[in-house]
Structures are given as structure tokens and as C-alpha cells.
Amino acid sequence: MIYKVIGLMSGSSLDGLDIAFVQLEEVRGQWSYQVLAADCVPYTDDMAHNLKHAQQLSVPDFLRLHTAYGRYMGDAVNKFIADKQIELQVQFIASHGHTVLHEPANYTTTQIGDGAAIAAITGLPVISDLRALDVALGGQGAPIVPIGDKLLFGNYDYHLNIGGIANITVQYEGKPLAFDVCPANQVLNTLAEKAGKMYDENGVMAASGVMLTDVLVNLNKHEYYAKQAPKSLSNEAAINMAFPALLESAHSTEDMLHTVVLHIAEQVCDAVRKYPSDKEQPQMLVTGGGAFNTFLIEKLQHALAQNNVSVVVPDADTVMYKEAVVMALIGALRWREETNVLSSVTGASRDSISGALWMGHSY
């Protein structure tokens, strides 16, 4: 069976809306994919500001943003379809939305971007609210990409995504287990902004700095790292783990960037130590914006060498759009009414078929 799906993803780094037009094929339970077209649509300053500060809005303004962002995504998809000349080829859209509140302890998670608005604007079926059912079932609702790691990237032993928050999928007792590792790009990008840059390209600034031992020790001793998986971080919690202490520091930006890179590498290495592979030479697939940070990848490979784990950075489309590809897969599984969120990963009471379906057309 072949599905042609648009996957939408907006991460905590707020670099833009990822759009991937994906061909998914299932043959006797085996899935494959091909990215037919993809783009990252940068947010306007106003939209990035509104998404970043959505929690501070009043309830009416929050709901207006939920609708406005859904229409924003719908317009972006329509432009993408026109630009790529793929009219009448898209079967449906799978939208993650943008996470603005994540409190699984209270059975609550919110990804804004109204699915009904996307469907109304595009005239296409839309599957949204992909995390909500898992959280209602007592799960962390995150990460949800491991179903894609299992079905599309199963030949790797570890799957690391370095976005605003770094998350990893490992194997534990024969089943996938995934969890948020530590704050990542949202910290690096915020520090780079102090130097007037959107991000530290290739980790050049970090490479020019030196390790701040006291800062590294303080970062590593956060109570989150002692918790057992499954576990997840909200954007707010991730930011609070590093700030405001780093921003108020008298140390140079280069030294702080260098130290945060070492912190990320150490926490990923610690996750691998806790869940060792039974293979002699296991491989880790690394995706997300952090995979383009040459210095970070270098330090990560150095840290993992003690566990004989090799780092694999795939092609640019996979690095940039893997999460959007997996959203397309999650949507296809929901369309088929098959499990798309794994309780072994999230800690929910059972696996689930997650996602709300909005039909964008009438018959």
C-alpha cells in the first residue's frame, strides 16, 4: 500500500515549520519511505515570539493563537503544494503542531495549531493532536518518534535526535524505550544569540572556547538525570535546567557554548551506558539540527568511543526532516487504525492509535 502524505513538525528550537511530502510504502508489514519534496518555512518574528510566549497568554488569546497558527500552517501547506507543483497528489496531512504545554503528571499536553483550521484552509484530511491519547493513558506522550525508528530506521541500534531538546531511542528488554536526554539546541541557540547570531554554525564558537568545570558539574547534577525512563521534558523545564544561571554568568559565550556541548555529549553517553547494546559495534543514527554542529558531533563520537558506538549522520533530508517524515508515518498508521504510539516508550497503560481526524472535504 502506498500513501503520499505531508508531515508537519515544529520543534522547540523555533527555527521554522518543517514540511515534508513523503511517499510511504507498506509491503507485508515492512515500511519504506521516500522524501519527494521538503522545506523549512522560517517563522516571522511575530509568530516565533507568540509561540515562545504562548503560556503567558490569557485563555482567549491562547485560543486565538491556536486557531491563527492552524491557519498559518494551512497557508504554508497550500504555498508548498503550489511551489512544488504537487496539486492533487497529497492524500492527507499529519500535523504535530507546536508544543506549548507539557505536563504528563497532570495528564495534560497541548500542541497548538488547530487541525480543523488546517483542514478548512487546505481542503485536505488532517490528522492532529498526536500525543493527547497517550498522555490521557498515563504516558509521557514523548518521544513519539520511536515508532518511526522501529518501522523506518530499524537497522540502527540507537536513534538520537538533537533538536531543541535531545531525545534518544534505545532497546531495552527487546522493546524500544525512548526518553528526552537533555536540553540541547534551544540552549546553544540562546547563547549564540548573545553574540548576535541565530545559532553557532558548525559549532565554531564552541570549538574556540574552553571547558568550565564548575558549570559542567552543576549542569550534570540536575535531578532530572537521576530519574528513570520513560521521562520527558517540557520546553519550559528544559530551559529552566540551564537558565537563567548561564545567561547571568560572567563567562564568555564561547566557553559556555563549549561547556554545554560537552554536557550534551556526556548525557548522551550516560544514556548509552545505562542501555548497552549486545552488538560488538553498535551504530547511532543522529538527526535534528544538532547533527550539523560539527563540533558537537566530534565530541559526541569521542564520548561514545568508550562504548564502541559509532555515530552515523545521514543525508541532509533525513537530518533535517526525519521528524516530519515520522509524523507522516504516524498519520498513515492512524489512517489505517494501527498502533502509532508505543507504551513501552512512553509508559502509558497500553499502546494507542493516536490522532484526531479532520476531513477537509465533503462528499
Each residue's pLDDT, cut to its tens digit, for the chain (363 residues) gives 999 999 999 977 778 999 999 999 999 999 999 999 999 999 998 999 999 899 899 999 999 999 999 999 999 999 999 999 999 999 999 999 999 988 999 999 999 999 999 999 999 999 999 999 999 999 988 788 889 988 998 889 999 999 889 999 998 888 888 899 999 999 999 999 988 998 999 999 999 999 999 999 989 999 999 999 888 888 788 888 887 767 777 899 999 999 999 999 999 999 999 999 989 899 999 998 899 999 999 999 999 999 999 999 999 989 999 999 999 999 999 999 999 999 988 889 999 999 999 998 876
Give the alpha-carbon dihedral of 233, 236, 238, 240, to 10 degrees: -140
110 shares a domain with 12? yes
Residue appearing with cell numbers 537533555: 182
Q: Is residue 309 part of a domain?
A: yes
Q: Is residue 82 part of a domain?
A: yes
Cα-based distances in Å from 84 to 24, 48, 303: 18, 25, 41
Q: Is residue 326 part of a domain?
A: no
Are 3 and 335 spatial neighbours (Cβ–Cβ below 8 Å)? yes
180 shares a domain with 162? yes
E strand map for 249-320: 283-287, 310-312
295 shares a domain with 190? yes
- C-alpha–C-alpha distance, residues 285 and 281, integer Å: 13
Q: Give the domain extent around 196.
A: 146-317
Number of domains in the chain: 2
87 shares a domain with 9? yes
275 shares a domain with 290? yes
295 shares a domain with 162? yes
pLDDT score, position 172: 84
240 shares a domain with 193? yes
Are 164 and 185 spatial neighbours (Cβ–Cβ below 8 Å)? yes
171 shares a domain with 310? yes
108 shares a domain with 6? yes
Angle between helices 59-84 and 115-122 (to 10 degrees): 40
Q: Which of 75, 81, 88, 82 is nearest to 120 (CA)?
A: 75
Q: Is residue 340 part of a domain?
A: yes
Query: CA-based Rg of the chain, rounded to a whole angstrom?
Result: 20
Query: Residue 5 phi/psi, 5° resolution?
Result: -130, 145
Mean pLDDT (the chain) is: 92
pLDDT score, position 240: 86
Q: Is residue 64 part of a domain?
A: yes
250 shares a domain with 340? no
Amino acid at 325: V
Q: Which of 86, 120, 251, 224 is nearest to 166 (CA)?
A: 224
User: How many Cβ atoms from other residues are within 10 Å of residue 193's Cβ?
Assistant: 14
Distance of CA 322 to the CA centre of its chain: 9
Residue appearing with cell numbers 476531513: 359
Residue length, the chain? 363
Residue appearing with cell numbers 568511543: 305
Query: Residue 165 phi/psi, 5° resolution?
Result: -120, 135
State yes or no: cis peptide before 143, omega within 30 of 0: yes
User: How many Cβ atoms from other residues are within 10 Å of residue 141's Cβ?
Assistant: 29
DSSP label of 222: -
Q: Is residue 220 part of a domain?
A: yes
163 shares a domain with 240? yes
166 shares a domain with 136? no
Q: Is residue 325 part of a domain?
A: no
Single pTM value for the model: 0.82
pLDDT score, position 78: 98
